[in-house]
Each structure stands twice: as structure tokens, then as C-alpha cells.
Amino acid sequence: MAMSVNVSSSSSSGIINSGFSRSGASSEPKVSQIGSLRLLDRVHVAPVSLNLSGKRSSSVKPLNAEPKTKDSMIPLAATMVAEIAEEVEVVEIEDFEELAKKLENASPLEIMDKALEKYGNDIAIAFSGAEDVALIEYAHLTGRPFRVFSLDTGRLNPETYRFFDAVEKHYGIRIEYMFPDSVEVQGLVRSKGLFSFYEDGHQECCRVRKVRPLRRALKGLKAWITGQRKDQSPGTRSEIPVVQVDPVFEGLDGGVGSLVKWNPVANVEGNDVWNFLRTMDVPVNTLHAAGYISIGCEPCTKAVLPGQHEREGRWWWEDAKAKECGLHKGNVKENTADGNVNGESKNAVADIFKSENLVTLSRQGIENLMKLENRKDPWIVVLYAPWCPFCQAMEASYDELADKLAGSGIKVAKFRADGDQKGFAKQELQLGSFPTILVFPKNSSRPIKYPSEKRDVDSLTSFLNLVR
């Protein structure tokens, strides 16, 4: 069967391609730049002509020609269906849950090699300018060609931009940068100012500067590689698999399930990642030496203190479970109508702060404490949520403080301020994020909020001595 298809387009339309740089010396053709696809203005498709004898003939009428009788269409259509069916390729749908189980105990290098082998030019590493350089090193060690892209939000630290340059030179690659839409950024800044995220949350700014540029990048891929680890954020990343169908973004083919997400270091602890980076002597962001562990935009990132969780330096004014910018929104567990999280009750989480010298306050109890203008004893109260990793991190020191102050005339207490009590705590108790620590002096009706992130026994004791 011979088939001729003529396709023509207007000279003013087309697909704009630019070379997508790749690492290493490779003879394979360059790939189109992520996000550079432009729709055709219009395409004209000429009718298809078939000659069932197998010979070319200009006298064969196109399929849309009017047949002489209705019967004459039947054998032609049947033959077409049979011929086309022979050429249809059967595509098997891969079970990525099963693949994730097989790779659960695999090394990051093995997982990276599998991802690059499977997707070739249709996969890229998402590089954030932090310890994601480990991903680039693993890709380099496989010996396979690889691609790297990053999101330049326009608000990164100067050290991060210098780090980008060092990584490009070290590996001989060109990072493909995705930028936010200038009109959208201008509209946000003009209407709400440069720092609106401190007042109404970071999600809107991240959506403009990060999520939408990422969406454009991923539309040119079939898979992407991230540096997510389970220990980065117990509230949102504790269950990520090493490979999964992306629950949020679409890939090259479009539609749900069209993009696969690979997380080669999902099961690796942060200390092990850093041991690997030191061993391989690769470039690292100089901000790490200044106490920055998880690095994002400059206004939303700060150094953390010893003993603090690494994500506490990101969007520090918000709750632990809000610390996702939207790039990995699928990690966030949804609350159900009955207050459960993905079907699991928050009440099932084991409580924290268990010293016998510590008072547990109910809603009525803390309201009564607020009403007392002349207290017999000063109080220190932590507003907490037992699932919050930052509250968990200070549990030992707070219990020690309660034991140390037993019999001193200072009451040490806790008040669970999540769930139904969160609105009350925000409005009446100055709750900003968990944990919030309040001191109720003897001769003041208004509690004083502890302003520091140093939550060790000595720091808390010193503050109490100054204000009690």
C-alpha cells in the first residue's frame, strides 16, 4: 500500500527551536530548549491518497471524494482499517509503583543511571543551587549525557549565581535557566509590594516566580530529576518514593500521568549527601558555610542554628507544613473534612513535652491565665503542634527547663495550638509559626513573646530572668 501525505504551512508559522546544551562530548544532536515551543499559526493538510495495488497513481481519488455507490466505500474502509491496524504500535504502561519498590534499596548512582538510560534526551535535572550538585555529580559519574535546568526567580543570593557559574565550569555544561514572566512579576510587585509574602504567605510569589516557569520547562520533558529527600521535611516529604508519576505537572505528551519524577537521593540522609560532596571535592554554595542548609530566594531563606531542622530556615514565619513552594505540591498531605490528614487523625500523633514538672493547659486554662493581671507566679508557655519537627527538636531542652525550674516559683507549661485552637492562638496569643514561646510576667496582663530562635535552656532561662 502506498500512502502520500502532503503537509504545508504558511511561511509566517513554525516551531522555534534552539539548542539545549548538554554535558560532555557527544555526537548526538542537540535537543530543543525547554519551554521554547510555539504553536503553529495554522497548518494545511492535503488529502491522503491510497493505491491498493501498491503502485503510485495520480488517478486515485482522495478519501474525501464522493463514492459512486454506498457499497463502494465498504471494502475500501475495511482494507484501510486492516492496513493501519498492522502498523499500530502497542505501548505498554509501566507500573512505576512496582519500579519504585525494585529500586527502593538501590544506590543514588544506580537510580540516576536507570533514569538517564530510560529517558535519554527527554529527562533533565532540576538544579536549585544548593546540595542538588550531588545529582549533577551522580549524572556525571554514569558517563551518560545529561541536561540540567534551573529556575532563576530574580531574587536569588549573589552567592548562588556565582555557584551556578562554578558548576558550569567544573562540569563543562550549560545550565538552562527558566525565568518568570516579567509582566506577571511587575503586576505582583506593583499591586502588593516587594515583600507581600511576609504578610499573606509565600505561595503567590512562588507561583509567579517558580511554579509557572517550572511548568513551562516540564512541558518539554517526559521526566525530571529532583533532589528531594525524606529527611528534608518530615511534614511533607517523609513518604516520597525514588520514582513516581508526577502528581501535579504535565510532561511532553500532555495530560495526567505524562511526566515521571525521579528522586535518586530520597532515601539518603543529609549528612551522607554532604560526605559524598566532600569526598568528590565538587563546588558547593558558599552560603552553606554561613549556616544556610536549604537555600532558596534571598528574602525567604536564612541560616539555621545548631540543632534546628534545615527547613526551618525556609519561610520561617510560616507553619512547618506550609514549607513547600509549589514545585513539589504533591507532597503536601490534604486535610479531610473531619480534620484528618490523608485519612490519618492528627490525634494519632504522639504528644511531646512530657516532663512531670510541666503543666498542660487547656483552652479554658490559658484564657484564665490571660485574664490574671496580678499573677502569683510568672509563667512560660510553649504553643506547639506535636507533628511539627521544629517543636520536636526543642522537646528535650524544654523538658529540661521544666525540671530545672521546678520549685523555683516559675511555672512551665504547654498549650497545643493546632487544629481547632489555631485561629484562637493566632488572634489572641501572637502565634506566628510553631513553636511560639510566651512569657506571662507577674505584674503584666499581656504576655511577652520570646523573639529568638535559640531555644536551649540557657537562652530561655536568661530571657526569663530579664522579663519575669
Three-state SS letters, 169-221:
HHHCCCCEEECCCHHHHHHHHHHHCCCCHHHHCCHHHHHHHHHHHHHHHHCCC
335 secondary structure, DSSP code: B
Cell of 311: 527547613
How many Å apart are CA 390 and CA 397, to the nearest integer?
A: 12
DSSP string, 223-240: EEE----TTT-TTTSTT-
DSSP string, 361-375: P-HHHHHHHHH-SS-
Amino acid at 386: P
Cell of 176: 538552562
206 is catalytic: no
**Extended strands (E) in 298-433:** 359-360, 379-384, 411-416
The 3-state DSSP class for residue 400 equals helix
Provide the b/e sequence for 55-89 (b: ≥16 CB within 10 Å): eeeeebeeeeeeeeeeeeeeeeeeebeeeeeeeee
300 is catalytic: no
The 3-state DSSP class for residue 17 equals coil
User: Phi first, then psi: what are they for 43, rounded to 5°?
Assistant: -130, 135
* Catalytic option among 206, 300, 325, 391: 391
Is the peptide bond preceding residue 234 cis, with omega within 30 degrees of 0?
A: no
How many Å apart are CA 100 and CA 239, to the nearest integer?
A: 12
Nearest residue to 445 (alpha-carbon basis) of 385, 369, 342: 369
**Catalytic center residues:** 388, 391
